[in-house]
Amino acid sequence: MAFDYINALLKKEVSRTPIWVMRQAGRYLPEYRATRKIAGDFLTLCKSSDLACEVTLQPLERFDLDAAILFSDILTIPDAMGLGLHFVEGEGPKFTNPLHTLSSIEHLAKPDVGTELNYVSEAVSVIKKNLKGRVPLIGFTGSPWTLATYMVEGGTSKTFSKVKGLMYENPKHMHQLLDVLADTVIDYLNSQIEAGADSVMIFDTWGGLLSMGSYENFSLRYMSKIVDGIHRSYEGRTIPVTLFTKGGAAWLEQIAATGCDAVGIDWTIELGEAERRVGSKVALQGNLDPSVLYASPDVIKAEAFKVLDQFKGQTGHVFNLGHGITPDVNPESMKVLVDAVHSYPTKTK
Amino acid sequence: MAFDYINALLKKEVSRTPIWVMRQAGRYLPEYRATRKIAGDFLTLCKSSDLACEVTLQPLERFDLDAAILFSDILTIPDAMGLGLHFVEGEGPKFTNPLHTLSSIEHLAKPDVGTELNYVSEAVSVIKKNLKGRVPLIGFTGSPWTLATYMVEGGTSKTFSKVKGLMYENPKHMHQLLDVLADTVIDYLNSQIEAGADSVMIFDTWGGLLSMGSYENFSLRYMSKIVDGIHRSYEGRTIPVTLFTKGGAAWLEQIAATGCDAVGIDWTIELGEAERRVGSKVALQGNLDPSVLYASPDVIKAEAFKVLDQFKGQTGHVFNLGHGITPDVNPESMKVLVDAVHSYPTKTK
């Protein structure tokens, strides 16, 4: 079956510009909140393949989306490494055993993805089965740098003082940590692909915190290693890979040079400018400001068309928000967006 | 007297690359925390010209800085407009009367800066007197867009849903608000200049949240109005103006085109690249990653030199961090930084 989402990533002909939305299975949906309540705890929701499947499919019931994305968390890898992930209400993710010493980094070992993270590939299998080929399934991971920030800080941070202190002061240990993470991510994404993921995406949420030199050295280098290390095709299917560095608009050329298929961009640059800079090398995913979804239907449609106008319906563009949909958005506004994108006239070759 | 800081902003010859640091008078200094304790409350500290003067001068006693910056808060203007600014421990600034309705925006009036914000120009006068011409004094304001975000949200925000909803849904009201703010900022900066400020800086902390089109329309346009409206020279002194949009690296050309004297940049782009793009039009301020101050003296010096190497000691560069110094930095590290910058060899013409 030919999917517009996959074709757009590979710059092949599409029937219409495909759309999916980051965090499309999430708190803005009342049915998600209900399932989350049944699960009791966020990590239980991730670890139950049936519940993870349920919430993955929820947005597809409501909206004419062109892809599903595995419901999981980027911090499953550090959890499998023994850091003890848990969630504190209103404070986000926390680790019981953060990497607060150099020796804890030295002793960190790559987990066996096939056993420790088996629940993730199991969820992929269950979702694939239940999708019945309706739309493709996106697998994902956090970037090594992004995972490392949480592991060293012990949770979210405002200043990122610990991880940046480590980076500036002990670059050797920082690289050691990132290396283990990159190797683990390769196994992790490959296990998702083997279980049925049709494309994969790397979320580099905190790469934009870095200076250009540090970004290349501590974040991009390891994403590049992953791009080289994962299955780019599997059982006859080409598996496109998308890199998304939030706040990385300045480094598009460098990101595109990794050999990835697509680059996700946030809303701080015009999609047309991104296309002029790297459109000959990669497809682009993005980039509507998520806050547009707080506006009325007419405004949502007009703003979505402004984004679409920059590609004029040609392939190589996967419509998305520039960041995740926020929990207080009305699901009706999401429907307006998806339908608006699909009403846009497509230019076929 | 010729000041290196002023000369660098005007691209005149300097004896050395000048340095000051955003939030140089702040919580990382034990003597600041002591004065803050005496004041009891942050706003009391801002409103007492003697205490504001005391904390303004504190970092100059410790470090060989090339400029002092008025101790105040960017939210004095909305407070003077009747929004009732107060600070909640651990939650940051809050307004008792935020702009939650369109009618509250319609009824917003420009305050009389000469009476309502008299305490700020009084602080400037007292500081100037106590500085005794040692270094120049920087006056400052928040940008209209940045002030508006706090006024509409009622405080800090993660999603900025209210202010962005307003912007997308009721652009007319948004512009009305920004217009009143820009007119007030012009009066406010002029009152600081008349009281003795030697240069002024506009902090656009939240401009980087916007898409390019929205940035030009809702943030930059009003900063440009301010650049045109304030005293660019006063009583024979040229008053340089610096614009700083955090996260605005993509828009340097547009910022430089306002006619400002200098552009502040964060650490996400290389200073040398910024210089190639807009160095013929403006001076540049920045751009060391504040987290470098968590590293050891050798690393701090090496990283500072990496920034300095991009200008090679030529004029047109004011050294600064790319954002404010963080509260948990050791003051000794700040000393290492200031001395490192001053040890860098200067190229004279």
Three state DSSP letters for A82-123: HHCEEEECCCEEEECCCCCCHHHHHCCCCCCHHHHCHHHHHH
CB A230 within 8 A of CB A200: yes
* A:298-317 residues touching chain B, CB 8 A cutoff: 299, 303, 306
CB A202 within 8 A of CB A243: yes
| Residue in B160, B273, B291 nearest the CB of A291 | B160
| Residue in A160, A250, A303 nearest the CB of B291 | A160
Phi, psi at A158, each rounded to 5°:
-95, -40
Phi, psi at A263, each rounded to 5°:
-125, 125
Active site residue A276: no
What's the pLDDT at B313?
A: 82
Instruction: Render A33-70 in DSSP notation, one character per residue.
Output: HHHHHHH-SHHHHHH-HHHHHHHHHHHHHHS--S-EE-
* B:276-295 residues touching chain A, CB 8 A cutoff: 289-292, 294-295
Distance CA A16, CA A43 (A): 36
* A:152-171 residues touching chain B, CB 8 A cutoff: 159-162, 164-165, 167-169
What's the pLDDT at B347?
A: 66
Show the low-confidence residues of chain B (pLDDT under 50). 349
Distance CA B276, CA A198 (A): 43
Provide, as residue numbers in chain B, all residues whose Cβ is less than 8 Å from the Cβ of A168.
Answer: 291-292, 294-295, 299, 303
A328 with B161: Cβ contact below 8 A? yes
Active site residue A328: no
Distance CA A93, CA A142 (A): 14
What's the pLDDT at A345?
A: 87
Instruction: Render B60-108 in DSSP notation, one character per residue.
Output: HHHS--S-EE----TTHHHIIIII-EEEETTTEEEESS---SHHHHHT-
CB B243 within 8 A of CB B255: yes
B326 with A160: Cβ contact below 8 A? no
Distance CA B3, CA B198 (A): 10
- Residue of A4, A66, A73, A266 marked catalytic: A73
Asked if B233 is an interface residue toward chain A (Cβ–Cβ < 8 A), one would say no
B291 with A249: Cβ contact below 8 A? no
Cα(first)–Cα(last) distance of chain A, in Å?
A: 20
Q: Which amino acid is at A20?
A: W
* A:81-140 residues touching chain B, CB 8 A cutoff: none
Give the closest residue to A199 by CA, choosing from A241, A256, A148: A241
The residue assigned the tokens 């499947």 is A53
Q: Which amino acid is at B180?
A: V
Containing A137, the helix (H) or strand (E) segment is strand A137-142
Distance CA A175, CA A161 (A): 17
B211 with A270: Cβ contact below 8 A? yes
Q: Checking DSSP bridges between strand B237-238 and strand B241-245, what pairing results, if any? A: unpaired
B249 with A250: Cβ contact below 8 A? yes
What's the pLDDT at A349?
A: 43
Active site residue A150: yes
What's the pLDDT at A1?
A: 55
DSSP A315: S
Show the low-confidence residues of chain A (pLDDT under 50). 349
A-chain residue closest to B266, CA distance: A211
| Residue in A168, A270, A289 nearest the CB of B294 | A168
CB B282 within 8 A of CB B31: no
Q: Which of the residues of B are catalytic? A: 23, 27, 36, 73, 150
A270 with B212: Cβ contact below 8 A? yes
CB A232 within 8 A of CB A239: yes
A164 with B294: Cβ contact below 8 A? yes
